[in-house]
Amino acid sequence: MIPIASPIIGSREVEAVTKVLRSASLAQGAEVFAFEEEFSQFVGNRTCVAVNSGTSALHLALLSLGIGPGDEVIVPSFTFAATANSVRLAGAVPVFVDIDDSFCIDPIAARNAITDRTAAIMPVHLYGQPAEMLQLTELAQDNNLLIIEDAAQAHLATHQLGPVGALGDAAAFSFYPTKNMTSGEGGMIVFKEPANARTAQLLRNQGMERRYANEIVGFNLRMTDIHAAIGRVQLSQLATWTSKRQENADFMTRNLENVVAPSARKGSSHVFHQYTIRVNAQIRDALSEGLLAEGVGNAVYYPTPVHRLPSYGLCERCPDPSHPCSALPETDRASQECLSLPVHPNLTLEDLTKIVDSVNRLSGSLR
């Protein structure tokens, strides 16, 4: 089976973890601080705050920017539930809007969803494709809104405005094992303003900077030095792995037939956390099953839009009937047509050829 994802853990990661274990300094310490400084170099030298997960990164980003009860945050529904969950956890209301053909939030839909309660827009750089940040930035400036980037899948992606993670007021990255780089588990928040970063630093550590001098009510969302040590090694290899993902994606795009291949937005670089094709909805599931039977891993990200999940209850979560959140046709279409294929750096030319041949043959026979 060619797996849909294949985390790369080598001897350097093992050595880094062993060094931390032997140091007896396991909690948030020198490795975490070094990881934050090194990650900052890839996001416009903005202040970075390491936490224990990507969801925590989103949650603390919102809280640190003052988002809370009474606020609305515009989010796409075609994403992982953590995007909207973080808004709910902050006490705010996620307002779901449609996507464009890149799978990212539609700026026109976002504009139409703005009310006097709207406090922020949370674009998701889905699959490693930067959202249309030029229009979203102008929209935010015109309406005095914050932008929090959900960059969980977009490490090293770039937009014409700059690197992903440095395009809004804050950004959140994930280091879950299947991401383009991992720390085992973890997340990173990136802030435009250092004052907001300090708030996040307090929130992640029980509200204190100095031990037992708690300034605010906080959480325990710290990253350990063990995870940071893994992350530092992975970060040093990320550029090479990203190039390999892009090369693999280019091979498939040049050779696939009968499907709609993904493409990078003009002026942006796509880092292909997932290589997601569009397939006729009537054959998508059969194609997926056929590929699995032939040893080609694949997955549907995401089969159910967030606004249709039981945890949100179709339209019942929206306090304003002028926001009919069920009317998201591009979101519904994407959930029925999308299929992600392996694109990770461990793929060989033989693997890529098998993936392409299987997709072309099966999709042709199912048409």
- 319 versus 337: which is more confidently predicted? 337
| Residue whose pair of structure tokens reads 């009317």 in the numeric block | 327
pLDDT for position 301: 98
Q: Please name which of 93, 188, 174, 94 lies closest in space to residue 126, comparing C-alpha atoms.
A: 174
Question: What single string gives the DSSP state of each residue in 39-82?
Answer: HHTTTTT-EEEEES-HHHHHHHHHHHTT--TT-EEEEESSS-TH
Q: Tokens representing 134? A: 């030029």
- 315 versus 260: which is more confidently predicted? 260
pLDDT for position 317: 43
pLDDT for position 314: 52
- Distance between CA atoms of 190 and 214, rounded to whole angstroms? 23
- Distance between CA atoms of 333 and 88, rounded to whole angstroms? 25
**β-pairing verdict for 158-159 and 162-163:** antiparallel
CATH of domain 238-366: 3.90.1150.10
pLDDT for position 318: 53
Mean pLDDT rounded to a whole number for the chain: 95
The residues that bridge with 121 in the sheet, in sequence order, are 74, 147
Q: Tokens representing 286? A: 């059969």
Residue 291 has pLDDT above 60, yes or no: yes
| pLDDT per residue as tens digits for the range 162-205 | 999 999 999 999 999 999 999 999 999 999 999 999 999 999 99
Residue 84 has pLDDT above 70, yes or no: yes
What kind of architecture, by CATH, is found in domain 11-234? 3-Layer(aba) Sandwich (3.40)
Residue 325 has pLDDT above 70, yes or no: no
Min mean pLDDT across 8-17, 24-33, 227-236, 333-342 is at 24-33
Mean pLDDT of 22-43: 95
Locate the domains of the chain by residue range. 11-234, 238-366
Q: Give every CB contact of residue 37 below 8 A, 6+ residues apart in sequence.
A: 48
Number of residues in the chain? 367
Residue 206, classed as helix, strand or coil, is coil
pLDDT for position 198: 98
Mean pLDDT of 246-271: 97
Mean pLDDT of 102-111: 97
- Distance between CA atoms of 206 and 98, rounded to whole angstroms? 37
Q: Please name which of 249, 86, 261 lies closest in space to residue 157, comparing C-alpha atoms.
A: 249
Instruction: Determine contact, residues 64/191, Cβ cutoff 8 Å.
Output: yes
| pLDDT per residue as tens digits for the range 329-362 | 999 999 999 999 999 999 999 999 999 999 999 9
